[in-house]
Amino acid sequence: MKKILFMLLLFPVVQGFAQKTQNTNPVYYLLDTANTPRNDRMWKLTTDGRYKYFAIQCPCLENHGKPTFFYDAVNKDNAARINKKELRVIKLANLDTLIALARQIERNNYARDFPIYLIEPRGEGYIKHEMSFMNPTVQISALPDVLPSKHDNSAFEVRGLIEADSKDLGNYINKSVITAGKVVSFRIVEANKLETLLIGADYPNQDFTILIKGKNLNNFNPVAFYKGRRLRVVGKVIEYEGKPGIELSNESEIQFLPRIKN
């Protein structure tokens, strides 16, 4: 408890530092609970079957939320083993820095330009996971830059995804969202390299554009197949030709919605 009060007093100083320095490098934090004295443990670990959560026991976010980091324990794509030699050359963040970054992410409306990795002891070595971040009191997450791409709809189940109206996607650049709309038209921008679906209206007034790049074209039906259909999609919002866009890698990132009868 004394440590929590100390950290709360420290926040104005750390916050001022964070405002002056915008981090763009990967952040690594070593969580070695077994070698941390019980009275100094600041983390609460929980699971809900699929996700593993790591909450810092400090009510220092909006609505007294505790900074919470989590990863998908089922998906192994964001995990990697490292040995002791590799760990020695990694610059590790301390807890104060991690909390300051959590506050920075919250001030930036959950957008971030850097990955966060949590390192845990595993056997004779370590394992690192790329973490998502959330304030559990508001249920909005800063997700990894790349959502897991699988041949199922599991990407739609990632906790904390923002449900965004297709007309508002300009407010969510660099954030992972779920959105929906009708495919009004399509464009073969460059044969075998880039094809697009225009949602909501025809070019250049579309709400957003779905981008399918050459390496992924075989994972989809021909773009003409989607014209007139209502789609629900999940992915990271980017800027494309001055408008919002979402690049998809396979059709599992699409859910077909019922047609609306006139």
Q: For residues 80 and 149, what is the distance between their CA atoms, to the nearest angstrom?
A: 17
Q: For residues 2 and 9, what is the distance between their CA atoms, to the nearest angstrom?
A: 11
Confidence of residue 182 (pLDDT cuts 50, 70, 90): very high
Give the residue among 13, 74, 23 at the shortest CA–CA distance from 48.
Answer: 74
Peptide bond into 37 cis (omega under 30): no
3 touches 42 (CB < 8 A): yes
207 touches 261 (CB < 8 A): no
Q: For residues 5 and 58, what is the distance between their CA atoms, to the nearest angstrom?
A: 9
pLDDT in tens, 222-234: 899 999 999 999 9
Q: For residues 112 and 97, what is the distance between their CA atoms, to the nearest angstrom?
A: 15
Mean pLDDT over residues 181-210, rounded? 92
Cα distances (angstroms) measured from residue 34 to each of 4, 38, 40, 41, 80: 20, 9, 11, 10, 21
**DSSP E strands: which ranges in 143-229?**
162-163, 176-190, 194-199, 208-213
Residue 152: what pLDDT?
Answer: 54
Does pLDDT of 19 surpass 50? no
The string of DSSP codes covering 74-89 is: S--TTEEEE-HHHHHT
- Tell me which DSSP letter residue 38 carries: G
pLDDT in tens, 33-78: 777 777 667 898 888 767 788 989 988 887 788 888 888 787 777 7
Helix (H, G, I), strand (E, B) or coil at 136: coil
Confidence of residue 14 (pLDDT cuts 50, 70, 90): very low
Does pLDDT of 12 surpass 70? no
User: In this structure, what token pair is assigned to residue 80?
Assistant: 């990697």
- For the entire predicted model, the pTM comes to 0.51
Residue 114: what pLDDT?
Answer: 81
Does pLDDT of 120 surpass 50? yes
Tokens 């959105």 -> residue: 179
Residue 209: what pLDDT?
Answer: 97
Does pLDDT of 236 surpass 70? yes
Residue 212 or residue 41, greater confidence: 212
